[in-house]
């Protein structure tokens, strides 16, 4: 059973909820309770800053964050780009090296075969 179900099943829970929902009747000299002070302060804060001021503050914070993060972001991008290029270039060079090795072997094989054929043709035996 969840906490909400237990509270609904318990008659004391209903009474507590009803008490919490009541607004106390205060006289002129009574001290406000904490929830009233906080609610009043929040209401004052909400009405004290206009939308344009919030937009300007947001832009300033954004600029400040980007100014501080910019060099670090550039370093990270360059590092990752360098690593990716090194990997790609290494693979490409390995492939070219393998192709050259095969081509050189074929050229040597053809040259040796041609030399043997020429040597056999010119041999008077």
- Say how far apart CA 54 and CA 62 lie, in whole Å: 12
In this prediction, residue 17 carries a pLDDT of 78
- Cα dihedral angle (83, 89, 92, 98), rounded to 10 degrees? -100
| Low pLDDT (below 70) residues in the chain | 1-8, 23-24, 26-28, 32-38, 40-49, 123-125
- The pLDDT of residue 13: 80
Task: Flag whether the pTM goes above 0.85.
Answer: no
Q: Looking at residue 87, what is its pLDDT?
A: 94
């Amino acid at each position: 059973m969840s906490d909400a179900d237990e509270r609904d099943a318990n008659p004391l829970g209903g009474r507590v909820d009803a008490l919490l929902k009541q607004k106390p009747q205060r006289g002129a000299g009574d001290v406000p309770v904490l929830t009233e002070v906080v609610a009043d302060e929040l209401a004052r804060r909400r009405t004290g800053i206009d939308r344009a001021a919030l937009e300007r503050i947001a832009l300033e914070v954004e600029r400040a964050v980007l100014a501080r993060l910019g060099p670090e972001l550039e370093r990270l991008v360059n590092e990752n780009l360098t690593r990716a290029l090194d990997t790609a270039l290494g693979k490409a060079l390995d492939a070219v090296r393998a192709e050259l090795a095969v081509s050189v072997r074929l050229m040597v094989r053809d040259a040796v075969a041609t030399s043997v054929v020429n040597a056999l043709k010119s041999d008077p035996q």
